[in-house]
Structure 1
């Protein structure tokens, strides 16, 4: 456990979540295309739920590529949520906190994800996934969404990561492998609950190769992934795959739940970066000028304490843990070539 603590301590800076395989093939027809997207999870899916005062995602240079200014996304531009919405041919759902400001946009679904959260309470005092699902249930009870709306919807679930930091901070006597199983069990409970609200299809992202994040590749001058960390990720993903497979076996259509294989899609881009016009695969584009600062930091005189690479479009990672828009676009394209996304459609 002592050896694992440095590995898991990387989660202290993660505002992310989350290998799996396609589970069941589902053929779509034009009449079956979903019209709404509901999103639950953390910063790999959050599009602006955290208040401006509490996150660097609302500070320059975040959002520089899209929409041209900080907008609450943990990237220079679009994130996973935006690309899944693009595939579904719906507008990216509005953040939950903006539902009353932009009421006409609720017809496309809603994003309940908050950066830094997990399936359990984490170090970030923000709504965990249970509470996020409560938000959707509350909206259904108040008839913001009807049964028909839910039938024509897809849920995207970005899970894990931040739960492990909380686990290490509590010095729990429970073993790591046992805790991973606990996280997966709660994830399974969450998926069942979302399905019970009437959502037709639930897509959950597997953990990406955390050992390849800049925070972990920095000791090798951003040259090599940490295989020990990635081995832990594979345990999480194997248990998630088992859980999702069982859920599908227990449903009538056997295609309600789907895993997005983010691990393999990330690794494919890393192994063939030039195919995706990526020249810098592990080096972050935006970093603090020293270890005391991070992307978006300024001093008391509002002087920038970060530096940005010349071409974010050629970098896979934006900061120490989050992909650039170019990185997410490469992952999205890989998921499409793997025929993974077609199974989101009914």
Structure 2
């Protein structure tokens, strides 16, 4: 606990020093009140890498709660591989592009007629590096696309050049950060290592043909229900938030460097600022237009009956060991980590859509 307090104080000092010296512009333009316009440069495909914030069905149904009740109860009405009650970030971005959500990589052979929309390589629980979840990390996910381009000839470099690439990183590399121990310099070095590898992945996607690459910043990790349950979902863990802020600062520097080094006259990379957009929604108990309201935004809709259980849990006798709120649309978070469909809607339209509109 003393280490965590020291970590928070040290990070707090460091981040504020960096802001003073370099400046961190996290202010994003307000979302427009009109539908996205059809520019000639709008991407025609969507390729997705990352984790459960973007996965739409890559994990086998026997291994993931995303294929179990009550996931998917809002959309499509049954479990369908998304880590939410309904639509997630990938779906909202695809909608802005005017296309269907891209086919999950694991289902590519069964949905060939939809390959023109791109492909989703994201796997829930994975990270930039390997995590406790034994599924393809980001480097391996990019390998999958490369094989489809060079070996199987499913996609070409031209396809990637006319696409939007979403890279979603929600912090699985840091899942054990607060309990793993280690000194403050060691923790900072690990965060730097993660961001450096992420930057290499982004550069690789550009080399393969990517011309519009959007990467997410970390959301406020300390405001996830898994962290706020200790305070009855009333208070965020500022140590976790400070670590996320440090990651995001390094990411901003890395993306600026990548854009400066690119040969394009327009930015190749942009950041989808989940940290700011999550905070906007949480602090305003809903999105800024007021059409969605979350009375207790830190409290998830679906919870285990005790700390030993989580959303979707059954006991040895098959008895349901979770509770679901009456109206998922009134909750920002679905489970301990993921937003509801309403939550993603609020996040996307609070600022992310405006960022993408400008990027296109």
User: Aligned pair 1:271/2:280, yes or no?
Assistant: no
Indicate if the aligned counterparts of 1:45 and 1:80 stay in contact, CA closer than 8 A: yes
Indicate if the aligned counterparts of 1:119 and 1:160 stay in contact, CA closer than 8 A: no
Aligned with 2:309: secondary structure?
coil
TM-aligned CA deviation for residue 273 of structure 1? 1.6
Bigger shift: 38-47 or 299-308? 299-308
Indicate if the aligned counterparts of 1:20 and 1:261 stay in contact, CA closer than 8 A: no
TM-score (norm 2): 0.86
The 2-side partners of 1:29 and 1:89 are apart by 9
TM-aligned CA deviation for residue 259 of structure 1? 0.2
Segments ≥4 residues shifted beyond 4 Å: 19-23, 166-174
User: Aligned pair 1:328/2:350, yes or no?
Assistant: no
Aligned with 1:38: secondary structure?
strand
Residues 1:214 and 1:167: Cα distance change in structure 2 (over 3 Å): closer
TM-aligned CA deviation for residue 21 of structure 1? 4.6
User: Aligned pair 1:247/2:263, yes or no?
Assistant: no
TM-aligned CA deviation for residue 324 of structure 1? 0.3
Question: Residue 42 of structure 1 is aligned with which of 37, 46, 51?
Answer: 51
Question: 1:158 matched to which residue of 2?
Answer: 168
TM-score (norm 1): 0.89
Question: Residue 108 of structure 1 is aligned with which of 104, 117, 129?
Answer: 117
Q: Unaligned regions of 5+ residues in structure 1, if any? A: 9-18
User: Aligned pair 1:344/2:359, yes or no?
Assistant: yes
> What are the equivalent positions in structure 2 for 1:166-245 lying under 5 Å apart?
175-245=186-256
The 1-side partners of 2:147 and 2:254 are apart by 27
Bigger shift: 125-134 or 269-278? 269-278
Question: 2:132 matched to which residue of 1?
Answer: 123
TM-aligned CA deviation for residue 167 of structure 1? 7.0
Indicate if the aligned counterparts of 1:20 and 1:240 stay in contact, CA closer than 8 A: no
The 1-side partners of 2:91 and 2:131 are apart by 25
Question: 2:144 matched to which residue of 1?
Answer: 135
Aligned with 2:215: secondary structure?
strand
TM-aligned CA deviation for residue 272 of structure 1? 1.0
TM-aligned CA deviation for residue 311 of structure 1? 0.8
Indicate if the aligned counterparts of 1:20 and 1:260 stay in contact, CA closer than 8 A: no
CA RMSD, 1 decimal: 2.4
Indicate if the aligned counterparts of 1:207 and 1:263 stay in contact, CA closer than 8 A: yes
User: Aligned pair 1:281/2:292, yes or no?
Assistant: no
Indicate if the aligned counterparts of 1:22 and 1:340 stay in contact, CA closer than 8 A: no
Aligned pair count reads: 330
Question: 2:3 matched to which residue of 1?
Answer: 3
